[in-house]
Amino acid sequence: MANESLVPTICPYCGVGCGFYVALEDGQEPRIEYMPDHPVNEGALCPKGNAALEVLGHPERLRHPLKKTEDGWAEISWEEALDLVSEKLKEALEAHGPHTIGFLGSAKVTNEENYIFQKMARLLGISNVDNCARLCHSPTIYGLERAFGLVGVTNPFPDLANSRCILVIGSNLAENHPIVARWILKAKDRGATVIVVDPRLTPTAWLADQHLQIDPGTDVALLNGMMRVILKEGLADTEFVTRQTVGFEDLVGSLEEYTPEKVAEIAGVSAAGIVKAARSYARSPASSIVYSMGITQHAVGTDNVTACANLALICGQVGRPGAGLYPLRGQNNVQGACDMGMLPDFYPGGRRIDDPGVVEDVEEAWGASHLPTAPGLTAVEMTEAAYDGDLRILYVVGEDPINSGPNTDRAREALERLEFMVVQDIFMTETAQMADLVLPAALWAEKEGTFTSTERRVQRIRRAADPPGDAREDLWIFSQVAERLGLGFHYAGPDDVLTEINRVLPSYGGVTRERLASPGGLIWPCPDPGHPGTPILHTEGFSTPDGRGRIVPVEYKPPAEVTDQEYPLVLTTGRVVLHYNAGSMTRRSPSLAGRVPELFVEINPHDAKKLEIEEGDPVAVTTARGRILARADLTERVGPGVVFLPFHFPDTNRLTTDVLDPVAKIPEFKVAACRIGRG
């Protein structure tokens, strides 16, 4: 076609990191062209990827800075808006100290933007820095760091095709990460066995050779039961365990009570099924574990991740082609946001904030002194601190904590108690509606930079369109605020920031702009410009101080909230294929929202009959925290006693508990006690 250009980019939705082209033709709307030479998706896209451009010119995009007044929202200039942000930050710092300010970053913005945002916070003495990983994969951070010493998917997605047994636990990847499902199907074509552990009969379970439909919140019991079978039957890789791990003897002693029969009683599956799954995983020459928020979003999420790591370690199923762990990330740059230090207890590169040597290194790199040396508040703790009056200022970027956090009504009340909140986003989310100042940001296709996908793959995005109205790139906004705060951020653009990242993050040392030109980018660790990247981790040992994997016994603990006479049903939450996160993008995408336009609740027909509920009825779902309305979907996908709500709609998290994992501080989204009645 005449006058057409193709701009390569990365999908803005989940963390798989699929590539495609934005096709630009004179006088035409941008459209998607597929990228068949991309190593992960090979040209394929899921429904959300295919609809990615629908939000680009959406009429509800934020176009101007908005200040809340007694008469509503008023458009103001960037000069006034930026001055207001810097003034409020200065006032709080001087009057109350940095501990009263929170920075909530985003897994939607680029690596360069997250890096600058957390750097600005730390230079101001602020440790209250976090991102949405807190609500999805924070247990992965702490569980894998403890077990392996490095946080990330151990193998690239195409390597799943080399697995001969794939254990999918707590992940409905066929809907939520469909491109990953393609690689699992390729493994099946080569003879692999697929085991799916999930309380629901999901599309992922349909492709399984074995489905263990466990009761919600019983994952540790099941994994411990599998490990006991493996040990009793002599299926552990004792040579690997002896050479590569520590802690094995403690694990052996901790598993005695987890007999298949007892675990079957706890988890609601057959003892024979537990034995079968254990044998399949251990006997396979190359086994992988794929998990997602069905594992992490629990009050025992860190224990769940640790149990997955234990299973891999005792069987030697890590550090080889086809053998590893795959924590599937929900947002496109969750891995990158964490790598860049957008966490309260880590500086860039996954280095602990309370390590004096780390602080010294970062101070030298930044030419700074007196950087924070103690962890700050997590995202959920910031909300609680706001409720208690201890957090006064909150700077929110690309997140909607009102809808994505637990116990929505309490979160709303907490944010109302803030002295000042600024929200930087692309749409007027529910959180933005509560802000004192709203800053209009650019979409991924309207700026340059890099994203890091779930598989540690760093890839470039390129500008294909102009931001609407006065909207600006997040990097520009941060730099302008920093300049007013006297921090001296004189970056010409994202390339300058990436150059600094190369210098400050050892694992990104060779991830230069020039080397990211081809589809697929580079997979870190990539320490220098001559390094090819590291697709498979732990091939020569682990990143722990002694180079050995850590086996850490964990005991089964029941969910924090159990059913009773008043709340007799178990509520669990999750995703559906056509929506994403809190829905601020997909519910504005006509081709997606038109297919799933409203909140529904899955109910087993057996329960529905007792409750006199018919298909499509409006019903009320009630927990100790609130009551919402939804449309009844009668289905065998959930077993008797279990109901399911997608979390893409505003009401769902009004019901979820804010009980936290003591280590990762993630709420227990996946289990709550509820009742259902006619609406």
Question: 3-state class of 570 per DSSP?
Answer: strand
Please state the three-class secondary structure of 399-451 as a single string: CCHHHHCCCHHHHHHHHHCCCEEEEEECCCCHHHHCCCEEEEECCHHHCCEEE
Least confident segment among 157-166, 260-269, 311-320, 566-575: 566-575
pTM over 0.85: yes
| Residue carrying structure tokens 């020569």 | 540
Amino acid letter at 375? Answer: P
Question: 3-state class of 32 per DSSP?
Answer: strand
Q: What is the token pair recorded at 411?
A: 């979160």
**Residue 441 clears pLDDT 70, i.e. is over it:** yes
Q: Give yes or no for a contact between 493 and 132, defined as CB atoms under 8 angstroms apart.
A: no
**Residue 478 clears pLDDT 90, i.e. is over it:** yes
**Residue 368 clears pLDDT 50, i.e. is over it:** yes
Q: What is the pLDDT of residue 580?
A: 65
Q: What is the pLDDT of residues 633-646, one digit of tens each?
A: 999 999 999 999 98
From the list 107, 63, 35, the residue with the least C-alpha distance to 444 is 107
Q: Rounded distance, CA 570 to CA 291, Å?
A: 21
Give residue 134's pLDDT band: very low, low, confident or very high (50, 70, 90): confident
Give residue 92's pLDDT band: very low, low, confident or very high (50, 70, 90): very high
Enumerate the H helices of 159-198 as residue ranges: 173-176, 178-189
Boundaries of CATH 2.40.40.20 in the chain?
569-678
Average pLDDT (22-26) is 90
Least confident segment among 20-34, 70-84, 378-392, 459-473: 20-34
**Residue 647 clears pLDDT 80, i.e. is over it:** no
Does the N-terminal peptide bond of residue 468 adopt cis geometry, omega within 30 degrees of 0?
no
What are residue 245's phi and psi, to 5 degrees?
Answer: -130, 165
Average pLDDT (44-57) is 90
**Helix H or strand E encompassing 323:** none
Q: Rounded distance, CA 397 to CA 333, Å?
A: 13
For the segment(s) 138-328, the CATH number from 1.10.10.1150, 1.10.10.10, 3.40.228.10, 2.120.10.30 is: 3.40.228.10
**449 Cβ contact partners less than 8 Å away, ≥ 6 residues apart:** 110, 111, 112, 113, 460, 461, 475, 494, 498
Q: Rounded distance, CA 317 to CA 490, Å?
A: 47
Least confident segment among 127-136, 235-244, 606-615: 127-136
Q: Rounded distance, CA 388 to CA 144, Å?
A: 33
**Residue 298 clears pLDDT 80, i.e. is over it:** yes
Boundaries of CATH 3.40.228.10 in the chain?
138-328
Q: What is the pLDDT of residue 592?
A: 80
Q: What is the pLDDT of residues 554-608, one digit of tens each?
A: 999 999 999 999 999 999 998 876 776 666 777 878 888 777 778 889 999 999 9
From first CA to last CA, the distance across the chain in angstroms is 55
The neighbour count for residue 601, using CB atoms within 10 Å, is 24
**471 Cβ contact partners less than 8 Å away, ≥ 6 residues apart:** 61, 62, 63, 426, 440, 441, 442, 446
Kindly state the DSSP code that residue 380 receives in the 8-state scheme: H
From the list 451, 455, 538, 456, the residue with the least C-alpha distance to 157 is 455
| Residue carrying structure tokens 């007027």 | 428
Boundaries of CATH 2.20.25.90 in the chain?
4-55
CA-angle at 189, arms to 185 and 193, nearest 5°: 75
Q: Give yes or no for a contact between 214 and 273, defined as CB atoms under 8 angstroms apart.
A: no
Average pLDDT (445-464) is 96
Question: 3-state class of 365 per DSSP?
Answer: helix
Q: Rounded distance, CA 226 to CA 280, Å?
A: 10
Boundaries of CATH 3.40.50.740 in the chain?
66-131+366-454+470-511
The reply to whether CATH 2.40.40.20 applies to domain 569-678 is: yes
Say which CATH architecture domain 4-55 belongs to: Single Sheet (2.20)
Beta strands in 499-639 (DSSP E): 522-523, 549-550, 569-574, 600-603, 618-623, 626-634
Q: What is the pLDDT of residues 195-218, one digit of tens each?
A: 999 999 999 999 999 999 999 999
Q: Rounded distance, CA 272 to CA 263, Å?
A: 11
CATH number for the domain running over 66-131+366-454+470-511: 3.40.50.740
Q: What is the pLDDT of residues 212-230, one digit of tens each?
A: 999 999 999 999 999 999 9
Q: What is the token pair recorded at 552?
A: 């850490």
Q: Give yes or no for a contact between 109 and 452, defined as CB atoms under 8 angstroms apart.
A: no
